[in-house]
């Protein structure tokens, strides 16, 4: 099969955002495959925001220790292959096809006996199989949604990382922070180490209770580890981090925002917990690893003159961190927003957070069928920004052109910028249009 045919076959298994709270099908698949997820230690990551960035940082730290690392993240920006990486690189098209062909008979058998495996279940099976076949020394696994019922939870992580929890996917995960935290706490397993980012009180109580119930060791940001000092630096920030085993000085992180500093502290604590012993990691190793970290689609500068920044924030929790980081790190005197969001999100909450930092906003739709209608989005935006600051474009390419034109009209290239945000799909579309980007 060709790569495009494989991608189409996986997509035909249904949309990613609809989940069925059962592990029966994925467990059946793992049984048939010989439980590849047991062939390597796992760092399992859940939370609402920051999961992919944290996964990339953990991956970088482990590879700098000369370990072979598999990384499974979601969703993707431009290519499905981005989700399954080995040695820091997405599977090649040929290898992606090989892995699919290897497990296809087992997918079809489960389809017949247990009901059709979902899009995400099929990819999860591919990832675990690819990592066992590589073989990898460690796998860094990001949940798709939630924790207890997520397909990735057929594996038991030696380390469970919980990034900041906020309201999102309430139709599936529960109506409040406590319910969402309860679902996500399912990745904390007996005897593991739970690395917890700073959380709302209600979430923290649930997570610590779960750790106590299963006998997991708890490491909490702000108590057992955390960022001691940070300052904005050219192209990122300079950090002093208290780890679980020592203090790491003058760590340069080429990513923007306080939230990324917190992600870095969680990643460092996770790797310290995984390695065991009492000795800290080598300081130079930590510095080298973090200096090469990238997080595509997360406050990523993809053009200069005027500066165009993309960020995949799609809920108020994520957008709040983006707004803070933009104000801290970029200092735009004039900022034009291009915004397209999914209709099932807290759109008003996202727009309200953007209003203070955007001079004008161009609303549009992205390539997803879930994208909110432009006129509906414009009506919401006008209620928050006022009609004189809101522009509409039916297509995202036209919206980007309009926003760049609005920024250029000032003649202040150094002080004007464009922020493209609202969804992972929005950012993926923009990266393709402005950079013809391949897999991130």
Residue 12, exposed/middle/buried by CB under 10 A (0-12, 13-18, 19+)?
exposed
Percentages of the chain per state (helix, strand, coil), in multiples of 5: 45, 20, 35
CA distance 236 to 307: 15
Whole-angstrom Cα distance, residue 263 to residue 69? 19
Inter-CA distances, 13 with 6, 97, 98, 130, 142, Å: 11, 16, 19, 20, 20
The β-bridge partners of 23 are: none
Q: C-alpha angle 171/42/24, rounded to 5°?
A: 50
**What's domain 300-435's architecture?**
Alpha-Beta Complex (3.90)
What is the pLDDT at residue 436?
A: 47
φ, ψ (nearest 5 deg) of residue 205: -60, -45
Q: What is the pLDDT of residue 411?
A: 55
- Determine the pLDDT at residue 224: 97
pLDDT at 317: 86
pLDDT in tens, 122-136: 999 999 999 999 999
**What is the rounded CA–CA span in Å between residue 123 and residue 6?**
11
Burial of 102 (0-12, 13-18, 19+ CB in 10 A): middle
Tokens 């996202």, residue?
350
Closest to 351 measured CA to CA, from 318, 389, 319, 391: 319
Measured between alpha carbons, how far is 150 from 172 in angstroms, rounded to an integer?
11
Question: For the whole prediction, is pTM greater than 0.85?
Answer: yes
Cβ contact 169:149 at 8 Å: no
Confidence of residue 435 (pLDDT cuts 50, 70, 90): confident
8 Å CB contact between 426 and 74: no
Closest CA to 408 of 301, 304, 300: 304
Q: What is the pLDDT of residue 171?
A: 60
Report whether 63 contacts 69 (CB < 8 A): yes
**Which residue did the predictor score with more confidence, 17 or 353?**
353
Average pLDDT over residues 247-274: 97
Flag whether pLDDT at 83 surpasses 50.
yes
Contact between 178 and 206 (Cβ < 8 Å):
yes
Starting at the earlier edge strand, list the strands of the sheet with 334-339: 300-303, 307-311, 416-421, 334-339, 360-363, 390-392
pLDDT at 315 over 50: yes
Lowest mean pLDDT segment, chosen from 221-230, 294-303, 333-342, 413-422: 413-422
pLDDT number for residue 440: 61
Convert the pLDDT of each residue in 217-252 to its tens digit: 999 999 999 999 999 999 999 999 999 999 999 999
φ, ψ of residue 263 in degrees (nearest 5): -60, -40
User: Containing H/E element for 86?
Assistant: strand 84-86
Q: Where in the chain is CATH 3.40.1190.10?
A: 3-291
Task: Give the pair of three-digit tokens for residue 358.
Answer: 């955007």
Domain 3-291: homologous superfamily in CATH = Mur-like, catalytic domain (3.40.1190.10)
Tokens standing for 379?
A: 């009506």
Q: pLDDT for 327-376, tens place per residue?
A: 999 989 899 999 999 998 899 999 999 999 999 999 999 999 989 999 99
Predicted confidence at residue 102, as pLDDT, reads: 97
User: What angle is formed at CA 294 by the lines to CA 365 and CA 340, rounded to 5 degrees?
Assistant: 10
pLDDT digits (tens, 9 = 90+) for 52-74: 999 999 999 999 999 999 999 99
d(C-alpha 257, C-alpha 249), whole Å: 18
Alpha-carbon distance values, 296 to 127, 309, 323, 374 (Å): 20, 11, 18, 26
Burial class (CB in 10 A: 0-12, 13-18, 19+), 358: buried
Percent of the chain whose pLDDT exceeds 70: 95
As a whole number of angstroms, the distance between CA 147 and CA 153 comes to 7
Q: What is the pLDDT of residue 252?
A: 98
Query: Partners of 42 in the beta sheet?
Result: 139
**In a 3-state reduction of DSSP, which class is residue 346?**
coil
Residues of the chain with CATH 3.90.190.20: 300-435
pLDDT of residue 116: 94
Is residue 390 within 8 Å of 381, Cβ to Cβ?
A: yes
């Amino acid at each position: 099969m060709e790569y495009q045919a494989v991608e189409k076959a996986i997509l035909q298994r249904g949309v990613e955002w609809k989940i069925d709270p059962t592990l029966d099908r994925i467990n059946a698949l793992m049984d048939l495959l010989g439980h590849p997820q047991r062939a390597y230690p796992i760092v399992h990551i859940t939370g609402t925001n920051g999961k992919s960035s944290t996964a990339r940082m953990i991956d970088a730290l482990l590879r700098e220790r000369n370990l072979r690392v598999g990384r499974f993240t979601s969703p993707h920006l431009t290519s499905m292959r981005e989700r399954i990486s080995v040695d820091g690189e997405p599977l090649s098209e040929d290898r992606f096809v090989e892995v699919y062909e290897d497990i296809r008979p087992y997918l079809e058998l489960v389809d017949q006996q247990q009901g059709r495996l979902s899009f995400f279940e099929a990819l999860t099976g591919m990832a675990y199989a690819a990592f066992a076949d590589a073989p990898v020394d460690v796998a860094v696994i990001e949940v798709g949604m939630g924790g207890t019922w997520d397909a990735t939870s057929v594996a038991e992580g030696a380390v469970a990382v919980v990034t900041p929890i906020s309201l999102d996917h309430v139709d599936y995960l529960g109506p409040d922070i406590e319910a969402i935290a309860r679902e996500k706490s399912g990745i904390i397993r007996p005897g593991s180490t739970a690395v917890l980012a700073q959380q709302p009180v209600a979430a923290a109580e649930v997570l610590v209770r779960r750790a106590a119930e299963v006998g997991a060791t708890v490491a909490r940001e702000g108590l057992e580890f955390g960022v001691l000092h940070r300052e904005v630096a050219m192209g990122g920030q300079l950090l002093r981090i208290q780890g679980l085993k020592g203090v790491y000085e003058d760590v340069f992180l080429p990513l923007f925002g306080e939230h990324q500093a917190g992600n870095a502290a969680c990643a460092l604590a996770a790797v310290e917990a995984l390695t065991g012993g009492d000795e800290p990691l080598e300081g130079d190793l930590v510095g080298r690893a973090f200096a090469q970290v990238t997080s595509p689609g997360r406050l990523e500068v993809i053009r200069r003159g005027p500066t165009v920044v993309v960020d995949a924030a799609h809920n108020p929790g994520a957008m709040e961190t983006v707004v803070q980081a933009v104000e801290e790190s970029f200092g735009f005197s004039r900022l034009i927003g291009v915004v397209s969001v999914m209709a099932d999100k807290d759109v008003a909450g996202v727009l309200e957070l953007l209003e203070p930092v955007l001079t004008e906003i161009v609303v549009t739709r992205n390539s997803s069928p879930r994208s909110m209608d432009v006129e509906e989005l414009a009506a919401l935006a006008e209620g928050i920004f006022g009609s004189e600051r809101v522009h509409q474009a039916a297509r995202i390419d036209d919206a980007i052109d309009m926003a760049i034109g609005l920024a250029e009209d000032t003649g202040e290239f150094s002080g004007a910028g464009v922020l493209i945000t609202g969804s992972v799909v929005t950012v993926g579309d923009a990266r393709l249009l402005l950079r013809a980007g391949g897999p991130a």
